[in-house]
Structure 1
Amino acid sequence: MRVLLVGAGGVGTAVTRIAARRSFLTHMVVADYDLARAEAAVAALGEQGTRFSARRLDASDQDAVRTALVDERCDVLLNATDPRFVMPLFEAALAAGTHYMDMAMSLSAPHATAPYEECGVKLGDEQFAQAAAWEASDRMALVGMGVEPGLSDVFARYAAEELFDEIEEIGVRDGANLTVEGYDFAPSFSIWTTIEECLNPPVVYEKDRGWFTTAPFSEPEVFEFPEGIGPVECVNVEHEEVLLIPRWVDARRVTFKYGLGDDFIAKLKTLHELGLDATAKVAVPGPDGPVQVSPRDVVAACLPDPATLGDRMTGKTCAGTWVKGTKDGSAREVYLYHVVDNEWSMREYGSQAVVWQTALNPVIALELMATGAWKGSGVLGPEALPPRPFLDLLGAYDSPWGLREER
C-alpha cells in the first residue's frame, strides 16, 4: 500500500512512527506545507525510514494534492491536518481515484436562529453529500477514523453485534488525568480543534426526535474512568460520533461527553467572550502596515505545541464508549475503553499519549484496508465495517482495549 500522509504535525509524526513498525506499508509520502517539518518526521525514523519520503504540499490546493496522489501512485490519502482542510483533501482524493481517510469530518455551522435547539450544517454533511460520487468511483472515503471519532465508533458497532440485543443509549466518554509541568494552560491536543468542538452547539441524537442541539457544556455528569484515572466531570461537546453512530447502529440515544474540568471550561468561555475563538481574519497593525490574522490562529500560536509537551506530561488518557441496553432479556451496561499511559507512549514511540492514541487508529485501519479485511465504497464511518478485525489488531500493536461491566 502506498499512502500520501498530509500533515506532519504531532499526529502525523506519530502516524509515521507507528506505521514504520508494520510490514503492510509499501511507501508513505509525508507531506506538509512546511517541508522541513515533513523532512524531520522522516529523518526521526532513522533506519526504519527507508519506506518514507518527504514532500512539500499545500493542503488547501486541491489540484496540487491530486497531482501528488497521481505522481506518487498512492492508493489512499490519510488526512492528518485540522478540519479546515477536509474538503479540498477529500475532493482531491476523489478526483485522483484513490481512497481517503480522515480523523475529523467537514465543519459544521450553527442554525441561524435556533443554534441551541436545532442543527444547522452538521459535521460531515458536506462529505456525505458526495456519497454517491464515491460509490460510483468504487472508492472508500473512511471518515472519522481517529480515536474519537474512530475507535469509539468501532466499540459501538462491536457492542451492537456481540454484547447487546437492544441498545437504549450509547455515550462516548473521554477523560484523562494528564498534567503538564510548568504550564498553567497547555491543552494536550490542537487548541484550534478543541475550540471548534467545545464552543459549537453540542449535538444529541434521539431516535424519536433525530439530531438536535443543546447549549455548550450541558448535562454535566461525573464518570468514573478506569485504570486509576478516577472520577471526571464530563459535559456535552459537539463530536462526530453522534452524527456517525446512528447511521449504522440502532440506538435510542447517542451522546458525546468530554471531561474538561471547570478551569478549562472557564478559559474557553473567556476566549469566546473576548472573540478570540473567531476564525474570520481581523486587521492588526504591523511594521509594514495592517496584517490580516485569525484570532484563533493567534491563540494557537501563543500556546505550546501539544506534540512537544510529552516530556513534561504525566498521567493517562482514556477514550471509550459506554453502552446501556439489554441482552437475553436482562439489563446490561458496559464501558469499552482504551487507555494510554504517557510514560509508555513517550518511552516506546517518543510521542505524547493523546497524539499517539489518535494516530494509532488510522494506521490500524490502513492495515485492514491493505489486507482486504476492511473494504467498501462510498462515504463510510468506522461503524460501517466489521469491528472484530480492528479490535484484534489493537492487541497486535501492543495497545489492548478493555471492557468494564457496569452492571
Structure 2
Amino acid sequence: MILGFKVLVVGSGAQGRVVAYLFDKDEDVELVKLSDIDRKALDYCARFYKKAETYLVSASDTDEVSKLAEDVDVLVNAVPTEFNLNLMRVALKAGTNYLDMALEYRDFEKVLALNERFQEEDLTALLALGCSPGVTDVVTALAADELDTVNEVKIVGASYVDSDIPYTNWAPRIFLDDCTRPPMIYEDGEIKYLKPFAEPEVVEFPGVGKVTVYAHPHEEVLTISKAIKGVKRVSMKMGVSMMDFFRTLYAMGILYENAMITEKKVKVDDVEVDPAEVIAKFLPKPITGEQFKEYVEKGIIRQATGTLVVKVYGIKNGRESVIESSFDLPPIMEIIDAVPLANDVSYPVSLPAYVAARMIADGSIKSRGVLIPEELTREERIEFLRRIGAFKPPIKVKTTTTTYLN
C-alpha cells in the first residue's frame, strides 16, 4: 500500500469540494490540490480544509493543469463532462491516474480509444464512477456474475423533498439539459432514443414511497450494454424533484427537446424570448454548505433524500431469476454533520468517487487502462462496496435474489 499519496481535484463545484474534503480528512493523504476558475468558490472551500491547497486554474488550460498534475497519484475530474477528454490527455501527459463521475456521450468512443496508452503507461483511468452512474454499474456487474445469462437491467431512481422553498440538487442549466435530452434505452442490440419523459411508471421506493418515474438519459445504458454480454434490454428511469413540473411544461410546449442546446424563440407582446432560458433563469440553484445546514436546522428544509433500485433479470440453473439491489443513502442530517460542504446529492456522488480514487492511489485497484466500473475485477468491485458501506456516513446496498419455479 502506498501511503502519503497526493491527489488533484479539478473543479470546486458541488462534487469537487466534497471529494477534496474527504481527501483532506484522510490521514494517509499527504497533499490535496483543488483547482477552479472561481476564486470566491475556492476561498469558501478553503475555510473547511486543513491541508488542501487551492489553485486558480481553468480546466481548459491544459498546460497549467498538467503542471498541477505532475506530482500527484490521481487526478479527479469534477468539472462538466465536456472537459473529460482533455483532462484524460492531461493525466497521460503528467503520468498520473484519472477518475471522473460522468460521461460525455459524444466522446465516449474517443475516450475508450485511449485504453492502450493508459495501459502502456501502467495507469488507470476509471470512468463514470459516482453513485449513478458508478455504484449502479458495480452492483449490476456483481449481479451478472451470479447469473448464467442476463436478459434485462432496469434501474429506477427517485428523490423526496419536504421544503418550504423551491429546491433542486443540480445547476439549473444542467438539470434542464438532462430532463429535455432524448432518453436512451438499449434494445434489440442497439441504442434507441425516446421522447423526453417517455414511459412513465409509478414505482414504490423504500423510504420514499410512490413516485412517477420517466425514461431518463443516463450513462448506465451505454456502459452496461457494452460490458454485460448478451443483455437484451437496459433502461434507466428517474423521478426527482421538479421533474413532474418540467413534464407539464414540456406537454404545454414551453419546454422542448434539447432545450439547452436548441434555441426556440416565442413572441410575448413585442419581445422575443426563449422560454427554456427564462425557466433556467428562475430555477433555484443548489444549496450547499452552511446555508444548507442552516435551512435544515431551522426546519425550512425538513427532508431531502433519494434512493436507487437496480433489477437484473436473467436465468440461473435454467430458472428465471431477479437480483434486486436497493440503495440505503444516509439521512441529510448525518451528511451535513459529517461533511459540511455536502448536500443530499453531492455526498452520495462524491463518496464513491473518493473511495475509488483512493483505491487507485493505494493500490487496491490494480486494473489498468481505460475502464468503466463494470470492468473492475470482481474482487475490486466487492472491496469498493465494502468501503462505501463502512464509511461514516455509509452508502449501503441491500441485495435480494428471487428465483421462479418453471
- TM-score range (shorter-chain normalised) is 0.7 to 0.9
Partner residue, 1:389: 383
The letter for the 2-side match of 1:168 is: N
| Bigger shift: residues 297-306 or 123-132 | 297-306
CA distance in 1, matches of 2:400, 2:388: 17
2:357 aligns with one of 349, 355, 366: 366
- CA deviation after TM superposition for structure 1 residue 3, in Å: 1.0
* Structure 1: unaligned runs, 5 residues or longer: 109-122, 283-293
The answer to whether 1:256 aligns with 2:225 is no
CA distance in 1, matches of 2:42, 2:131: 23
The answer to whether 1:66 aligns with 2:66 is yes
> In the alignment, is the contact (CA less than 8 A) between 2:156 and 2:236 conserved in 1?
yes
CA distance in 2, matches of 1:159, 1:275: 34
User: TM (normalized to structure 1)?
Assistant: 0.82
1:168 aligns with one of 151, 154, 157: 151
- CA deviation after TM superposition for structure 1 residue 274, in Å: 7.3
- CA deviation after TM superposition for structure 1 residue 298, in Å: 7.7
CA distance in 1, matches of 2:16, 2:252: 30
> In the alignment, is the contact (CA less than 8 A) between 1:83 and 1:193 conserved in 2?
no
CA distance in 2, matches of 1:190, 1:125: 27
CA distance in 2, matches of 1:274, 1:224: 29
> In the alignment, is the contact (CA less than 8 A) between 1:177 and 1:229 conserved in 2?
yes
2:303 aligns with one of 314, 319, 322: 314
CA distance in 2, matches of 1:275, 1:196: 9
The letter for the 1-side match of 2:24 is: A
SS at match of 2:128: coil
> In the alignment, is the contact (CA less than 8 A) between 1:132 and 1:378 conserved in 2?
yes
CA distance in 2, matches of 1:193, 1:372: 34
> In the alignment, is the contact (CA less than 8 A) between 2:172 and 2:285 conserved in 1?
no
- CA deviation after TM superposition for structure 1 residue 42, in Å: 2.6
Q: 1:94 to 1:235 in 2, by over 3 A?
A: same
Give the percent of matched residue pairs that are identical in Structure 1 and Structure 2: 27
Partner residue, 1:182: 165
Partner residue, 1:353: 344
CA distance in 2, matches of 1:380, 1:374: 11
Partner residue, 1:124: 108
The letter for the 2-side match of 1:220 is: P
Partner residue, 2:42: 38
User: TM (normalized to structure 2)?
Assistant: 0.83
SS at match of 2:336: helix
The letter for the 2-side match of 1:332 is: S
CA distance in 2, matches of 1:295, 1:25: 47
2:399 aligns with one of 364, 388, 403: 403
Q: May I ask how many residue pairs the two structures share in their alignment?
A: 372
CA distance in 2, matches of 1:6, 1:271: 38
Q: 1:346 to 1:403 in 2, by over 3 A?
A: same
SS at match of 1:353: coil
2:73 aligns with one of 57, 61, 75: 75
Task: Summarize deviations over 1:334-355 as a string: whole Å, max 9, x none.
Answer: 3213232223212332221111
> In the alignment, is the contact (CA less than 8 A) between 1:248 and 1:383 conserved in 2?
yes
Partner residue, 1:209: 189
SS at match of 1:306: coil
SS at match of 1:77: strand
